[in-house]
Amino acid sequence: MPDIFERFGNYISKVTPEHPDRSRALLLAAYRAYGLKFRLAPDRALPKAHQFSAQCVNQAVQTMLAHPERAALVSIFQPCELLEAMSVTPMCAELYSCFLNGAHAEPAFAEAAEAEGIAESFCSYHKVLLGSAYAGVLPAPKFIVNTSLVCDANNLTFRELADHYGIPRFYVDVPPEQSEEGVAFVADQLQELKKFLEDQTGKHLDEDRLKGVVARSKRTMDLLRACQVEKRSKTLTSDVTSELYEVYLTHSGMGSAAALRYAEQLLKDLKGAPAAHGIRLLWLHTIPNWQEPVRQMLNFNDRCQIVTCDTNFEGLVDMDPERPYESMARRLVYSQWNGGETRVKAAVEAARALHVDGVVCFCHWGCKQTMGLSGVFKRELDQAGFPTLILNGDGCDRRNASDGQTATRLNAFLEMLEKRNG
């Protein structure tokens, strides 16, 4: 008998073509119910920081569906301090698609996108987002802000959605070289973004408020760097979904009071955590948190744990609140993901600093950047003494994954690491 989530997803698929408003209302009701659960009956097996992050991301998704008029659709790497300073909620594309996956509803929206001509090989996070828009479930945001950094699917998706909804879009072009000239180039664009936001909202940006938001980002990043130091010798038992929630808070949520509170609590949790034990993994790229073999092997156990995911320590630059536009630009230009060589180098450095036993590079369906780098990741990490598993799959669309293959390969990798460690 299918479980309640599968039945719910099937019903969403059935009702969406004729009644997209009803589908949206049902999804919103489900997320509100889970939000209430997160507040009143959090999972006590989770560290306090991760209990809190579950509440934060759930509320963000609710806002996407319930109050699109005060939200902007953004790409995952877009700095959102300007939005925070102007009380505009960032609608993170990847987060929204993850929640549709959690409701077992993503196949219907992926199929809706494919019916409109979107390629099967297109990134499923963006395909599901597009399908939800085409189906009339995702309401139109006030406007779109995205950056060119890393993701080519992002560039196509947001241009298409701006045309589909007939809404304004602002594009931040990031040069592929890391240089101070690049920082200045991007900072100028962010100054233009300020003017765009003022035009779209009808509000004036308070520069002192922006400096305060950037100061909060700086404090948050300082704490997150301290967390990375603690992770070298501690084990924080948790689940893979929490790693994905952290991606939202360390990116779209950066500059918010919630992100700062999360970082403060995470550092407290780590300081009180037991000494490192078991197999320690560095995870590269997104995590298929919905896949049962991954959950069974990595959630709440002493055998192994993900120490960190590379998405959660990229862009932790030193920010200067007195130079907010330059600081935001620096996060983009000097992102560890801005260029394949820098990303590989950052992965090797993190593996050494965090004393991991092995690395999993997850080649998410449709992500050309990670797929193209996977061989380089393995070569450089293997040479540095860190066995690396290239795991193919899909972080969002369950149609493109094999539980059996994932279970076999991941378990064999863990067994090899255990034997290697004696």
Separation of alpha carbons 275 and 284, rounded Å: 23
Separation of alpha carbons 219 and 190, rounded Å: 21
From its phi and psi, is residue 279 left (phi > 0), alpha (psi between -120 and 50) or beta?
beta
Sheet containing strand 358-364, edge to edge, reads 304-309, 279-284, 358-364, 388-393
* Tens-binned pLDDT, residue by residue, of the chain (422 aa): 458 888 999 999 999 999 999 999 999 999 999 999 989 999 999 999 999 999 999 999 999 899 998 899 999 999 999 999 999 999 999 999 999 999 999 999 999 999 999 999 999 999 999 999 999 999 999 999 999 998 888 889 999 999 999 999 999 999 998 999 999 999 999 999 999 999 999 999 999 999 999 999 999 999 999 999 999 999 998 999 999 999 999 999 999 999 999 999 999 999 999 999 999 999 999 999 999 999 999 999 889 999 999 999 998 999 999 999 999 999 999 999 998 899 999 999 999 999 999 999 999 988 888 888 899 999 999 999 999 999 999 999 999 888 999 999 999 999 999 999 87
Tell which residue, 379, 385, 358, has the closest CA to residue 284.
358
Separation of alpha carbons 398 and 98, rounded Å: 11
Tokens of 186: 């991007």
For the chain, the farthest-separated pair of C-alpha atoms sits apart, in whole angstroms, at: 64
> In the chain, where are the structural domains located?
4-420
Separation of alpha carbons 51 and 135, rounded Å: 33
